[in-house]
Amino acid sequence: MPHKPGELDTTHAPRLSAHSPVISSVIEMRLNRRQFLLAGATVSMAASLGLSGCDREQPAAVPSEPLQNTPSRFPFTELKRATGGDHAVAAEYRADVLIRWGDPLFADSPPFDPHNLTAESQARQFGYNNDFLGFVPLPTGADGVERGLLCVNHESASSNLMFADFSWITSGWITEQTCGVEMAAHGGSVVEIARVDGVWRVVTGSAFNRRILGHGTPMQLTGPATGHERLRTAVDPTGTQVNGMINNCAGGITAWQTWLSGEENFNGSFIGEVPDDHPEARNHGLYGLPGTFYQWGQWIADFDLSREPRSPNRYGWIVEIDPLNPASVPKKRTALGRFKHEGAESVVAKNGRIVVYMGDDQKFEHVYKFVSRDVFNSADRNANLDILDHGTLYAARFDADGRVYWLPLVHGEGPLTSANDFNDQGDVLIETRRAADLLGATPMDRPEDVQASPTTGKVYVVLTNNDERESDQIDAANPRAANVFGHIIEIAEDGDDHTATQGRWEILVRCGDPTNDDAGAVWNAATTSDGWFGSPDNIAFDSTGRMWIATDGNDGCDGLWGVETEGPLRGTGKALYRAPDGAEVCGPCFTPDGLSLFLAIQHPGDAMTATFDDPETRWPDFVDGKPPRPSVVVLQPLNKGQA
């Protein structure tokens, strides 16, 4: 999120609870990133561990003899660790820019003009800072052309790079017009794409194309919290409708081909305060409100706590969208809980129930899963459209003996009673974080994407980092103090049943430089100096079950790595793609045949003092006077046999 130098980042503000550790306040400078970029104390920590840049020479870890004779499941030439203004991909692949911020979606979309941005034009164009990507295939027509719908989250607006008149020094650039552009740049896009002569192209003007806006797209609140008193505002006294979705990060595509979009750092979109004795004051504090990343509340009461103190309770949900029905109303599924959702990947369990795995992307927050009450109906798509309104939400407790326990967040059970100010299930879901704390869920090192392997059924939890964990706060599942590199946890549910309430867990890799003892990294010995990474963020599996990890904050060298999960090479990383300077890689997403891989390249050119006139790079256009543009890239093998 955009911040000016000197502003405080409260996104990951420490908090107190019955089970979370007491953490001293830490001031973090934000580098215009969706999450922090190893700033302040983290940079100092990285320097102490010998991390000075991506292009440094490092000795590769020496594999043992058996590993040298084990073929990799990733048979491409590994990309070298470096930085640069352009992106790069392994020699066996091609990388094409599919769509950029401001590109037209509709027949009447105005041309992109970075010197004349308006909310009206942005609402008809591809949004900013694309994050999650989901692919919904369409039937192949008589022309034999492969088609599909790309579902895209637009998480944030990097105002310093978007606006030509932006200034770090004065706030005069903040106007009702600029705030309107920022809100229109948020939300999501549905884009039809077609593969013609081996190249994916946008079908501009497709009847499926759609913009879902940060403010301006009507949505319904559904599930147990619907109509709750704490969801009611002057604009919506019924507590059943919301006018948009904001700060949407990762998500998922369901078995019935809908798009789940997670609202993450919603706190940043609010200004204003409530008195300390206000009924929502404690709740707001747990979610870092107000974040004041944006000044929308100057013009819209919904984003000003002093005028609408309940309004934040209407954000922080999983939004379900039907991309196959452009006229459908998006629905915020309250049964899945309210927190800073990083993802919502779902599976159909053995008994037919739907299980959605989710992470709360903040330091010392929790891992969750939702199990539907009803069974998936593979013969009737419409029968599944509200299946996520009924079920049980669980938070994970990772014990030192390698067992994981899923704790139900159900009103009336354990501490979730009126004695702790939970008067009904709506209260439990609105204050999911506090409920999970009271149950004793394990505070984790920023849980982001959580996804199950389609071939083994094992579940992988991506933990990005946590530089605030003290040495007396480490535990088996979070084994490093000042964890600036992150790690990946693997869960095997009991009986290979995703609805199980117990399972086993272990750490797949501890990220960081394995040649530096102080980093505490643990990789397979076959991992080279180019194959290790830090700050894992998003995860994806291809059609053969191979795991891919995208990073955010990897010492300035963010990209995409393949990671071995089975056999003698288990825990080996291998670099496939590198993002341009200032960018992170998000939303890796494969077509069903595994031969096309879509990547969201977010905030290219961004850095501490980067501006429209002086970005780190002008990728992907490289035209003077044009800002860098967040874009979707598609990777394809030059030879299908090398995929």
Kindly report, residue by residue over 23-36, the tens digit of the pLDDT: 222 223 222 333 33
* Residue 90, SS3 per DSSP: coil
- Of 157, 93, 248, 129, nearest to 632 by C-alpha is 129
Residues of the chain above pLDDT 70, percent:
89
How many whole angstroms from its chain centre is CA 356? 15
The larger pLDDT score, comparing residue 608 to residue 470, is at 470
Residue 173 is predicted with a pLDDT of 83
Torsions phi, psi of 600, nearest 5?
-95, 120
Confidence grade of residue 370 (pLDDT, cut at 50, 70, 90) = very high
- Of 107, 34, 128, nearest to 631 by C-alpha is 128
Contact present, 453 and 547 (Cβ < 8 Å)? yes
Contact present, 599 and 577 (Cβ < 8 Å)? yes
Beta bridge partners of 589: 598
How many whole angstroms from its chain centre is CA 46? 24
CA distance 12 to 86: 31
pLDDT per residue as tens digits for the range 188-197: 999 999 999 9
Confidence grade of residue 20 (pLDDT, cut at 50, 70, 90) = very low
- Strand 331-333 and strand 219-222: the pairing is parallel
Q: What is the mean pLDDT of residues 172-201?
A: 96
Contact present, 528 and 535 (Cβ < 8 Å)? no
Residue 172 is predicted with a pLDDT of 80
Beta bridge partners of 306: none
Contact present, 151 and 190 (Cβ < 8 Å)? yes
Mean of the per-residue pLDDT values of the chain: 90
Handedness of CA 521, 522, 526, 527 (dihedral sign): negative
Confidence grade of residue 170 (pLDDT, cut at 50, 70, 90) = confident
Handedness of CA 272, 309, 183, 292 (dihedral sign): positive
CA distance 200 to 190: 15
Residue 641 is predicted with a pLDDT of 63
Residue 608 is predicted with a pLDDT of 86
In terms of Cβ atoms closer than 10 Å to its own Cβ (0-12, 13-18, 19+), residue 308 is: buried
In terms of Cβ atoms closer than 10 Å to its own Cβ (0-12, 13-18, 19+), residue 266 is: buried
Point out the least confidently predicted range of 11-20, 132-141, 284-293.
11-20
Contact present, 354 and 254 (Cβ < 8 Å)? yes
Residue 65 is predicted with a pLDDT of 44
pLDDT per residue as tens digits for the range 465-487: 999 999 999 999 999 999 999 99
Contact present, 534 and 485 (Cβ < 8 Å)? yes
End-to-end CA distance of the chain: 35
Residue 36 is predicted with a pLDDT of 31
pLDDT per residue as tens digits for the range 206-248: 999 999 999 999 999 999 999 999 999 999 999 999 999 999 9
Cβ atoms < 10 Å from Cβ of 363: 25
- Strand 391-398 and strand 367-375: the pairing is antiparallel
Contact present, 522 and 507 (Cβ < 8 Å)? yes
- Of 380, 287, 393, nearest to 334 by C-alpha is 393
* Residue 147, SS3 per DSSP: strand
The larger pLDDT score, comparing residue 414 to residue 21, is at 414
| DSSP structural state of residue 438 | H
CA distance 355 to 349: 7
pLDDT higher than 60, residue 5: no
- Of 599, 629, 631, 595, nearest to 198 by C-alpha is 595
CA distance 498 to 496: 6
CA distance 463 to 445: 6
Delimit the domains of the chain by residue range.
218-449+466-483
pLDDT higher than 50, residue 423: yes
pLDDT per residue as tens digits for the range 38-97: 333 333 333 333 333 454 333 333 344 445 678 999 999 999 999 999 999 999 999 999
The larger pLDDT score, comparing residue 365 to residue 167, is at 365
Q: Model pTM?
A: 0.91
Residues of the chain above pLDDT 90, percent:
85
